[in-house]
Amino acid sequence: MKINVQHPLFKLVLNPKTCHQLNLSADNPDLKYIDSQDKLGKYILQRIRQEHALYAIGGYAENRKIYSQFEHFDSEGGKRNIHLGVDFWAPAGTPIFCPIDARVHSFQYNDNPGDYGATLILEHQHKGKAFYTLYGHISLADLEGLEKGKEFKAGDRIAHLGKENENGGWPPHLHFQVIKNLEGNSGDYPGVVASHQAKAYLSNCPNPEPFFTGA
């Protein structure tokens, strides 16, 4: 699914020097004792500083253990642990911009512990077919005054990174996900799935990293 991104999600200089490629997978031995969101936040800040970077990014298709502390990630097939989007870690309040002309499909405050918090889903068109982008962990204030069908042009500011007390308790970051088929969902869509579901969901949610660079 090759999409012409018209504008990057952030008006920031993102390159290997400024943006650390973060590994939060179960294979990372540094995470052995990271069992809370607070500890995770301290670890991420530590890694950013150690790399002399400003931000951190990563997570597509990662197998993560951090979700095991939350009932929200339970499923019939076991814990949900495969991450479907890309996380971009930056200070709360960092503005997010529309990557492609869009209209608001839906939005919702998903306030379970460990959940997205404030969530926005935009609908776009590509070769005559709709696809969607999901923005999780945004500021709750960004949902005020929104209406389904509201239009955004590429480059319009659409949201900001939310604080811990409004984004499910996580360190400030954007969970960004591209979705081909929303499968009837509104205001929410799985961002983490069980291992046995991963193949189908990753096919429906391609790697969205090009949206960060505008490539």
Task: Please return the burial class of 123, using the count of CB atoms within 10 Å of its CB with bins 0-12, 13-18 and 19+.
Answer: middle
Residue 158 and residue 122 in contact, taking contact as beta carbons nearer than 8 Å: yes
Q: Where in the chain are the domains?
A: 19-209
pLDDT in tens, 14-67: 999 999 999 999 899 998 888 888 898 999 999 999 999 999 999 999 998 887
> At CB < 8 A and 24+ separation, what contacts does 187-191 make?
187/106, 187/107, 187/108, 187/110, 187/119, 187/121, 188/108, 188/110, 188/116, 188/119, 189/121, 189/132, 189/134, 190/80, 190/84, 191/83, 191/84, 191/85, 191/116, 191/134, 191/136
| Cβ burial 69-107 (10 Å sphere, 16+ → b, else e) | ebeebeeeeebbbbbbbbbbbbebebebbbbbbbebbbb
Per-residue pLDDT tens over the stretch 97-145: 999 999 999 999 999 888 899 999 999 998 889 999 999 999 999 999 9
Interval 59-95: pLDDT, tens: 999 998 887 665 666 556 667 789 999 999 999 999 9
The model's pLDDT over 115-126, given as tens digits with 9 standing for 90+, comes to: 899 999 999 998
pTM value surpassing 0.85:
yes
Tokens 């949902």 found at: 143
Does the domain at 19-209 match CATH 3.60.15.10? Answer given as no
Q: What is the pLDDT of residue 155?
A: 96
What per-residue confidence (pLDDT) applies to 36?
85
Give the pLDDT band (50/70/90) at residue 182. Answer: very high
Token match 């400030």: residue?
Answer: 172
